[in-house]
Chains A and B, each alone.
Chain A
Amino acid sequence: MKKVKASLVACAFGLTAVLAGCGGGSQQSGGTNQSPANASAPASTSASAPASSKPVEIDFWYALGGRNGEIIQEMVKKFNDSQKDIVVKASYQGSYYENHSKVLAAVSAGNQPDVTMVEVGSIGAFADAKVLEELEPYTNGAEKKYIPGLLGNSYWKDKLYAIPFNRSTPLLYLNRDMLKAAGLDPEGPKTWEELRQYAKTLTKKEGDKTATYGFSTAIDIWFYEALVFQSGGSILTEDNKALAINSEAGKAPIEFWTSMLKEGIMKAPPGEKYNAWDVAKQDFLNGQVGMIFTSTGDLRGLKENAKFDVGAAFMPANKSYGAPTGGANLVILAKSSDEEKKAAWEFINWMTDTAQTVPFSLESGYMPVTTEAVESAEMKAAYEKEPNFQVAVKQLEYASPRPMVPGYKELQEVIMTEIQRAVLGQATVDEALQKADEKGQKLLKK
């Protein structure tokens, strides 16, 4: 009978040991210098060990899945293999949204990574919360090699915090075969009016059901920003203190979308956040939609899975062309140790260097980030062969940085919820805009 009790206690100890191993052990690499309240944290690895004897381990959290995620893993492996001083451990965290939550949660818990990618609209929030490390002491001017148009979301209050990595703009994707068959210019519509015309021509009904929609886009903040830019406006005022959408420019996109929806020539894909994007892309691939908006980062994926000729073009102009930049920048977390931060910069510098950004861009569709890369022979040759890959870079001329005030995450949700009400017919365009403006201003005042 004593055996029962003894084995129970043994079990308990055994589990404790395993727990200590599993829970505590792996936190060490890339961990912080904070007093280890972690169950069994041995003395911080980075404190005393001389840099030369053991490689510095840093944690990299990224937010790209699927093929692009695999590419990142391959790049990380290449970096690790290419030198002996730094070992990077990369782990996938889900979408941008999920990664952000996790990074911030980890920061307050004390076990954040050393390097991560932050979606450009959130850089301000992270910098303001003192989560990011200022980069100029590390770069020593290296930031000059990046395309100026991409650095808009890298500075907060005039300090450098983030380096462009997987940058994108939204594009208009076209099913060229479908356009040709309908007698339309396979290069696609150049203005909003043309978009409407094309959509009308491409829409095919079978009785009551619509078999093909001319156009589809997720009703997402990023595309709304684009259309506002195209209408000559912006989301926030110059000083970032107030909302600027209660204006002609803010209204135009909503009216444009709702009128096309009413006409039945546009489809608003169901689903929240990226789920809606997925539906739009799937519909496009299935030939059920002729034109969609989505990121340049989807270019490779769409091209490979489509059974038709895929074209990429500027988003159509209203008063002018316009687009927000997007994607993510790489950042260093402020709470890491000095050694880890130095290693992190080495890693970031390597990941965004011309030699890496060229193949990354060609493999994924994201834009190359250095000027050198864009002008390189390799890139030029690739663009000759596949002009689609150059569209985003060309559109940069008309691009603007995304708003990135702290709290923009909640703000964009609030704005889009109200706009969605207009799209769903629950509110008129004016009512929706009014509500969005009210709620948004309240948030900004906090």
Chain B
Amino acid sequence: MGTVGRRAWKTIEWILLIGVGLVFVFPFLWMFITAFKTMPEVYQFPPSWWPNSWQFENFRIAWSSGPFLTYVWNSLIVALGTLVLQFLIGVPAAYSFARYRFKGRNMLFGLSLIALMIPSQVIFLPVYVQMSHWGLVDTLWALILPFGASAFGIFLLRQAFMQVPDEVIEAARLDNASEWKIMWTIMVPLAKPVLVTFGLFSFIYHWNDYFWPLIMTNSDTVRTLPIGISMLKAAEGGKQWNVIMAGNMILVFPILIVFFFAQRHIINAFVYQSK
């Protein structure tokens, strides 16, 4: 192929690349643009490509449509709380599976892997009834407890713990260090990359979760951000898409910005799952 031919291909490829990029990025741009329009501009056809004036008002309306600060706070508590609980439960379990030999170890580990195959959507009904019997419906506990044991987290941590060289542990044991101490002060720091990976994955998942809070909560006091945002749809008259998009921007853009700066870390976190 001559150089002219090759350059032509290159240009075509560049165009295609930008095209693909746009397919994934432009919807977010459209969210951004719509969020600043006025209602008449929103209901215009063909649509205007740029807002005439920048209606920051839409954000105010979205934010004040409900106790958003409470929603943010609840989302934070749920995402962090779940993570801490998963950590407290997962580390000892992973350590035990990784470094102890005991009867039934493989069977029990296999059992906990089954949990990986059971998404929460599949068992929400019985768990809801259980929570109802325990009086935990409409509390933040209902959003955290069911996720306390993360099969994924235990799996990852076990892998990481298995990698720690025996000499390190032997040395610690010779020093009369208790098992408990070894676990928390040696194994955990050595598994930091995995912890970061899992932490990101779990936090993002629970921060974004809409289904579980929808099922388990009713009151404003325990609602999370995704639920709050979805309630923007129930306005009167026509749908206020500009306000709805503004509200969604509050939810979406902070994550997109974090993503922009920490791309590699975040992407690697999700890829880890496959290994």
Contact = CB atoms under 8 A, between A and B. Distances in A.
B122 interface: no
B88 A110 contact: no
A407 interface: no
Given A37-B136, A39-B141, A92-B66, A301 B237 contact: yes
**A interface secondary structure, majority:** helix
B43 interface: yes
A13 to B, nearest CB: 10
B220 A65 contact: no
B132 interface: yes
A305 B237 contact: yes
B256 interface: no
Interface residues of B, number: 39
A34 B164 CA distance: 52
A108 B216 CA distance: 12
B236 A67 contact: yes
A282 interface: yes
A66 B231 CA distance: 11
Interface string B78-92: 001100110110000
B212 to A, nearest CB: 14
A434 interface: no
Interface in B176-230: 181, 184-185, 188-189, 218-222
Nearest to B87: A8
Contacts of B81: 15, 19
Given A5-B185, A15-B77, A298-B236, A109 B141 contact: no
Interface string B225-267: 0000001001111110000000000000000000000000000
Contacts of A44: none
Contacts of B31: none
B228 to A, nearest CB: 11
B84 A65 contact: no
Interface of A: 1-2, 4-5, 8, 11-12, 15, 18-19, 22-24, 26-27, 34, 36-39, 65-68, 91-95, 98, 102, 105-106, 108-111, 274-275, 278-279, 281-282, 285-286, 298, 301-302, 305
15 contacts: A1-B185, A5-B184, A12-B84, A18-B77, A19-B144, A27-B138, A37-B134, A38-B136, A67-B236, A105-B218, A106-B218, A282-B43, A285-B238, A286-B43, A298-B236
